[in-house]
Structure 1
Amino acid sequence: MLERLAGQFEAASAAYVETHGIERDPDWFVLKLQEEVGELTQAWNRATGRGRKKGRSEDDLNRDLADETADLLGHILLFARNNRIDLAAAIERKWLFRLDAE
């Protein structure tokens, strides 16, 4: 399940970097994680009244939060894939449950 999802994120990311001329070296993957955590934090601050809403409606703020969460998930999967991390095995080891196969 995670491998298939990671492959879909990889295809989308590869197309994006190709279009925009971005080089994904090993550091890029962890730096993007940090960037996305910052963007999620910013969306959270806006949604919870800790930051300027910049004219965003509650629906916009909720969508921003969802979008940034999706970005973070994607970059976690890209980081794991690039570093040959068996995320399913790590989840089983750390969280003590198995991911269901599709």
Structure 2
Amino acid sequence: MLKSLTGKFERASQDYALGFGIERDPDWYLLKLQEELGELTQVWNRYSDRGRRGDLSNEDLHLALENEAADVLGHILLFAHRFGLDLPSAIERKWRFRPEPTEKT
């Protein structure tokens, strides 16, 4: 699952970078992840009444939380892919479960 999902995020990110003339150099991966985590934090502050909500409903903010969490997930997978990190093995070591069955090639 992670391998397939990572490939989809990678293709989408490549297309985005090409479309907007962005160079995805090594620093970009961590900086973009940090940016997305900041956006998730900003929405959380609004959702939890620690920030200005404006006229956003709980449903609007819940959807925004989902969107920003998806961005963080995508960028952590892009970061891991770019630097050759074996997330399934790390998850098994750190969390003590196997995140996906072994993929057949």
Q: Partners of 2:40 and 2:72 in 1: how far apart?
A: 8
Question: TM-score, structure 2 length as denominator?
Answer: 0.93
Contact 2:9 2:78 in 1 (8 A): yes
Using the aligned pairs only, state the percent identity. 59
- Counterpart residue number, 1:38: 38
Residue 44 of structure 2 aligns to a residue in which SS?
Answer: helix
Which segments of 5 or more consecutive residues in structure 1 lack a partner in the other structure?
none
- In 2: Cα distance, 1:84 partner to 1:100 partner: 18
Residue of structure 1 in register with 2:68 after alignment: 68
Aligned positions of 1:1-102 closer than 5 A: 1-101=1-101
Deviation at residue 55 of structure 1 after TM alignment: 1.5
TM-score, normalised relative to structure 1: 0.96
Quote the Cα distance in structure 1 between the aligned partners of 2:24 and 2:100: 31
Structure of higher RCO (CA pairs closer than 8 Å, 6+ residues apart): 1
SS at match of 1:52: coil
* Two-structure CA RMSD over aligned residues (Å): 1.0
Unpaired runs of 5+ residues, structure 2, are none
